Amino acid sequence: MAGQFEAVPGGGAAVALDEIEVSILRSLAVQLLELIGPGDEPAADADPLAALFAEGPSEPPSDPALARLFPDAYGGPDAKGDDAGLRDASAEFRRFTENDLRGRKRADALAVVRTLDSLAVAGEDGAVLKLSPDESRSWLGALNDLRLTIGTRLEVSDDDGDELYHLPDEDPRKPMVMAYLWLGALQETLVGTLLP
């Protein structure tokens, strides 16, 4: 089980993590929470009906990683044809969906932090993290968001697959590439536990 998720009876997943892996995952999840930020959400005491129809931002984020997490719904940066119409449609869609999407991404990252905080790691041997089916889905969302963010920062493209595995140790991207690949392996094995 070391380093990969396995299905557990009754649903959910489990993975053995050592103290360093827990620390890295927690740090990455906290950084993701900071990147996503609080968003433009209505106050907790606001009218529930008004909160349901609260408008979010209409402009795409300027940070490339956030733009990857919250992409335009129509067209995108390479859109052809009626660019103004696509931009207007994307702005309208973003205005009514981004707050909810931002909230879900925050909830997923927070679930990672909370489950890791509840894990008692005993020395170098580590511990086994057991996730319920709901926690597994939250972890899957957070792992995906982390990989998208790191991949954007590394400017990963489809053509980079082999190059990432052969970076020299002195390359400053190496630690982030290692995290990117490790998160991909975790994500892949977690998906395997959720399939029927």
How does pLDDT run across 18-75, given as a tens digit for each residue?
Answer: 999 999 999 999 999 999 998 555 556 666 666 556 677 778 889 999 999 999 888 7
Residues of the chain with pLDDT under 70: 1-2, 39-54, 76-82, 121-125, 159-161
Q: What is the pLDDT of residue 174?
A: 92
95 vs 92: CA distance, rounded Å: 5
Q: Where are the domains of the chain?
A: 6-194
Q: What pairs with residue 7 in β-bridges?
A: 13
Full-model pTM: 0.85
